[in-house]
Each structure stands twice: as C-alpha cells, then as structure tokens.
A and B are shown apart, each in its own frame.
Chain A
C-alpha cells in the first residue's frame, strides 16, 4: 500500500507536484497517467525517497521509504531503464544490487531467466537495445521479490511479445496480492492492464478512480444515426423530432447525426413515429485514450504544432492548389471532439459518489469536475491552434465537424 498525503515538490519557483494525495492499494494494477512534465516521475522518485518532498509525505506500508526495514525487499522499482552503468555486465549489475540488499546470488540467475536475458547476462549493458534495457530494469525491480512494485514506462521500446509479457506480468504480480503502480503513455496498454487509474496534470490530481468509471466519466458516449442520403428532408424531420424529445443532435460532415441524451431504443421509436427510415443506428463508446485526452487537454504543457516550414516553401505556381493538411496533425483538439451539447453533462464526474478506496473526493481545481450548471471548459469546440498560423497558404482545415469522423477509430 502506497499512501501519499499532501505531497508537494518545488524546484526553485517551479512547482512540479502540488498537494497530491492518493492511495495505491495491493492486489490491483494501478495506472499512473499524465502528460509529459506533469510530475509522474517526480512523484515516483519521492515515493522511493530519492527526492525529498517540499511538503507532505508519502509512505509505503506505513513507513517513509528510507525508514523501511530492508527497503529493497519490500519495494522494487524500474525508474529509468538507462539507470545502469553501461560498462557493467547485466549479471554484475544485478549481482551488486542483490549483495546490497542481502539477496542470495542464485536469485540473480533466476530473474535473468524471468526476463529472458540469460544469453546476454555476461555482455556489457552498453550494447543493449532499449527493450533489453527495459528487461534488465524489470529484472532489477523483481530481484527482491518485493510486495510493492513501481514501474515508470515499463513497455518503452519492448517488442510486441515483450509488451504482452509485461502486461501479463503486471496482472500476475497484482493477482499475488502485490501493489503494482505503473506509469505509461500507452493508453491502449493501460486499458488492458490497469484496474485503477490515478491521473495527474501539472502536478495536481485530476482523477483517482477505476478504469471503467474514468472512461464513462470523461467521454461522451453517443449514438450515430444515418438517414437515407437521397431524402435530406427526412434528416431535418428526425433532427427536430429528436430535439423535441430532449436529445442533442450534432450533424456530422458526411451526413450522419451524432445523438446524445437518448438511449438507442428511444431513438428508434422516435424515428418510427416520425416515419423516418434509418440506414444506421449504432452505439459508440469512447476509448480510454479519448477519455484521457479529454480530461488532460487543459493540463498539457508540451503541445505539438504544425510544422509550417514558413519561409522555406517555394512560392506556389499560379493556379496550383496548396496541399491539404493531413487530418489530425498539429490539431490539439483532434482527440477531443467538441461536445455534442453545451451543458457538458456527460463529462461530469460522478458527483457525491465516494471513490472505491475512500479517497474519493472529487478532484478540485481548474481541471476537475465542473459543478452543476457550470459549463465544462472543454465542452466548447476549441479554436484551432493556440498560435494561429499567419503564413500558411493552406486553406483553413475543414472546421470542427471534420474532426468528428475520427475519434472512435482510435480505439
């Protein structure tokens, strides 16, 4: 059990982590998510006693890390796969760690077997690929057969087989009753591996809830309805009928309608009553990735922009069409489609419902749950890029609705 209370870390006047409180319980894989620079690694270093918190504290099994009796036998960590002296062989590296915590040398060969590095055990780790380095780091974390495991980006650089292995390893470790705390940027991986999520942005807690709760709280499930293309008046008719019934209708670029606020059978009934034939009526649920993007959108520090190559471009010959931008590139709100409604109700966090671990205070702050009646700051379609490109000859990308065709493919 890892427990952080009011954890704060400042470097000079930059606050890396601010007032972070959470619990990581045993027997489950807890995912630790956040954009680059949101304070994930700093938090992990503080858990391991490498960095001293400016305020607050974090304990493992009730003790601060440095006070744990034989800490490496209770906590294993993969912080950085490159935190290894490259001139030392894999086996010597693990051996010196084993000796430091009084683990029999036999165990070194065991973990080398577990991670599949026996054949290169006597090679210097300088020549290891990123994936082999990760395996060595995982071996070091498993060395003490600890009860609490921390992994920072464990699947970085692993091959598909290695990713599958890590996924099963995490689950197996948690099933044995251990505490497993994993940070990752691979949402698809997290959706498969983690049971519980802790999401931070700019050093503050954004969410602490189970994966399913997280997805349903942070994404807009919607129904897509398509009326016959040949009869546009049917579409108008259905739109007004659905709006009358309390649904929110948003036209998509290709003529389909995106509907929220009404269950599928009800939409079918309304269409039937309005005498409108349907070509498509399908449910769409957002992926973890989409839900994550929506939640952390306001907390992203390092955002990519379009590579404009301004001043480097040849003047276009007269009459030539500038190339269309590739959809998605440099469009920060690509993953987060504009809300189908203004109220933001589907994005609200579950109110008044205590979290499964008791620490379920709804995350506060600018990124937290919008209060009732308060519009969700992310519900409005964001304007294009923050720094509007002045130079590009390209026509403005097809406006917001064009983006709507994409998100559900991201699953």
Chain B
C-alpha cells in the first residue's frame, strides 16, 4: 500500500520565514490557503454527508413508496367504489393523508439519524474537531435536512394531490387556498416534524431512543385518548384527541371552523413553536455538554 517515503511531497516547500519571527521554536506554515469558514461550508459538508449514506436513500425511498403508493391506492379504491353523490362536497386532496401519516415515520427516522447516528458512530468527535462551533454544525444539519425533507414531501404530496383530483371526479374541485394548505402547508408540517426529530436526536444522542420518543409523540395522544372512558376526563380526552398529530394532519384538508382543536394553519404555527423551543434547548445542551 504505502511506502515509507517522506510523506506529503506537496508540502515540501513550507514557508519557513512566515512564522519564524518572534518565536524561539520552529514553525510550519501550510502552502494551502487558509479561508475563513462560515455556515456555507458547514452546509455543503452536511449535504455531502446526507447524500453519501444509504439510510437517506432507504428512508426517503420507503417514504415515497408509502406516500405515493398508498395515496394512489386509496384514490383508486375510492374512485372504483364511489356512488353518485357520495363524494359531493368532499375535498379530494384529503385522501392523501393516510399515506402521509405512515410516511411521516420515515421522515422522523431520517431526522433522528441525521444527528444521532453521528453520536452512535463517534463521527461527532471528528465533526466537532473539524468545526468547533457546535451551533453552526447543528444549524447546517437543520437547514440541509429541512430542505431535503420538505422537497421530497412536497413533490410526493403534489403528485398524489394531482392524481386525487384527476381520479375523483365526483368530489368538488378544491380552492386555491385548499391547494396551498393541502400540499405546501402539509409538507411544511411534515418537514417540521422531521426537524423536531433531528433536534430530539441531538438531545437524546441515541437513534433508537429518539425514534421511539418521536413515534410515541405521534401516536401516544391518540391511543391514550381512546382509553379515557371516564366522563371526568372528557376535556383532557378531547384536548389529546384534538392536538394529536394525525388529527392536526387532517386539519390541513378541512375548512370548517366548527370543529374544536387547531384549524387552518394552526398546526404549522404549533409545530414551528415547538421546533423553535427544541432548537434552543438542543443548542444550549450542545454548548454545555462534552461531545
């Protein structure tokens, strides 16, 4: 493989004069120009990282399969079984929610892996040595992951939405606002959910633990609400149900204000607030803890 010859011939002409003054010790100056690093460098590095591991391909591949596959399957089934009037007044985009609910697990997994896998493999020590600004690393990870998650979600949701509208002739045609909420809005929400997972991964530092917490967050409120039979707990039960993530997802497809719980763009604001708090917490912990 290698030979015991003097290494790095390209470094053979160090600039001896540069740092020799003032110090009693010899000094070495690299011929490679030193640049001032900024967030852009960290972002390009994180982009290289996220596209050079197979877990990205796998999680996003399964996500596409679930969202597009189930979305089209549901649309086809509904289209085949619809009666004359059964779909009238329905928003055709809403049939995409089933695939998206399952697919969100993939985004959660990818988000957690983006940070927690570095702790699992020890890569984080290499990364933090190469970039001592810990907040910059986390910010770059968040930006790159959010961009990837949003783009993939938006593309697949848009595809399913177009197919739904084309296949379900009986349903009403959605308004511009509904289109925006049902594609752009829900993609934003899913990407924020993934970003929250990324931050939880950074806080927990353990892939399996963080994924479990996030899946619990998605499913637990609904499951807990199902078992609250007592009428004394009726209010808690309703709140749990209203703010459970599956219910928040469905809010992107309804226009009615009569229902309780979040409506309109509320879920996005809620997710944004929670994610911002998690981000601040993750940065504070990152600065305080040893890597």
Contact = CB atoms under 8 A, between A and B. Distances in A.
Given A26-B28, A84-B126, A176 B42 contact: no
Contact of A102 (B35, B53, B122): B35
A66 to B, nearest CB: 4
Given A66-B133, A70-B37, A80 B30 contact: no
Contact of A161 (B1, B52, B124): B1
Contact of A96 (B6, B45, B291): B45
B122 A83 contact: yes
A95 B48 contact: yes
Interface in A164-190: 164-165, 168-169, 172-173, 176-178
B77 interface: no
Contacts of B32: 73, 103-104, 107, 144-145
Contacts of B14: 176-177
A177 B55 contact: no
Contact of A92 (B10, B48, B121, B125): B48
A71 B132 contact: yes
Nearest to B26: A177
A87 interface: yes
A27 B16 CA distance: 12
A168 B7 CA distance: 8
Interface stretch (A31-39, A110-118, A312-320): A110-118
Contact of B131 (A100, A104, A178): A100
Contact of B30 (A45, A48, A145): A145
B7 A65 contact: no
By DSSP majority rule, is chain B's interface helix, strand, loop, or mixed? loop
B128 to A, nearest CB: 6
Contacts of B45: 96-97, 99-100
B7 A172 contact: yes
A96 B49 contact: yes
Which of B36, B45, B124, B132 counts the most chain A CB atoms within 10 A? B132
Which of B6, B26, B31, B46 counts the most chain A CB atoms within 10 A? B26
A218 B59 CA distance: 59
Contacts of B127: 97, 100
A50 B52 contact: no
Interface string B1-38: 11111111011001010000000011111111011110
Contact of A70 (B7, B29, B35, B123): B35
B128 A176 contact: no
A239 interface: no
Contact of A88 (B5, B44, B52): B52
B16 A70 contact: no
B172 interface: no
B54 A146 contact: no
A341 interface: no
Contacts, number: 168
A165 B132 contact: no
Which of A65, A89, A165 counts the most chain B CB atoms within 10 A? A165
Given A85-B121, A97-B130, A115 B2 contact: yes
Contacts of A77: 129
A66 B135 CA distance: 12
Contact of B2 (A65, A96, A116): A116
Given A70-B34, A83-B122, A84-B121, A172 B6 contact: yes
Which of A50, A68, A92, A96 counts the most chain B CB atoms within 10 A? A96
A50 B4 contact: no
A66 B30 contact: no
Contacts of B30: 73, 144-147
Nearest to B136: A100
Given A73-B30, A83-B122, A147-B28, A89 B52 contact: yes
A41 B247 CA distance: 50
Contact of B29 (A66, A147, A168): A147
A142 interface: yes
A279 to B, nearest CB: 43
Interface string A341-361: 000000000000000000000
A7 B30 CA distance: 30
Given A50-B125, A51-B290, A96-B52, A25 B25 contact: yes
Interface in A35-57: 45, 48-52
A1 B26 CA distance: 10
Contacts of A140: 126
Interface in A130-159: 135, 140, 142, 144-147
Contact of A69 (B36, B53, B122, B124): B36
A82 interface: yes
Nearest to A126: B121
A77 B130 CA distance: 9
Contact of A145 (B3, B5, B11, B35): B11
B1 A116 contact: yes
Contact of B31 (A68, A145, A161): A145
Contacts of B129: 48-50, 71-72, 75, 77, 79
Given A70-B37, A101-B37, A172-B6, A86 B130 contact: no
Nearest to A164: B4
B214 to A, nearest CB: 21
29 contacts: A66-B132, A71-B129, A77-B129, A79-B125, A79-B126, A83-B122, A83-B123, A83-B126, A84-B126, A85-B49, A85-B123, A86-B121, A87-B53, A99-B44, A99-B45, A100-B45, A100-B131, A102-B34, A116-B2, A135-B1, A140-B126, A144-B32, A145-B31, A147-B29, A161-B2, A164-B4, A168-B5, A172-B6, A177-B25
Interface of A: 1, 25-27, 45, 48-52, 65-66, 68-73, 75, 77, 79-80, 82-89, 92-93, 95-97, 99-104, 107, 110, 114-117, 135, 140, 142, 144-147, 161-162, 164-165, 168-169, 172-173, 176-178
- Closest A-B pairs by Cβ, 10 of them: A116-B2, A177-B26, A116-B1, A92-B52, A83-B122, A145-B30, A102-B35, A100-B45, A66-B132, A27-B26
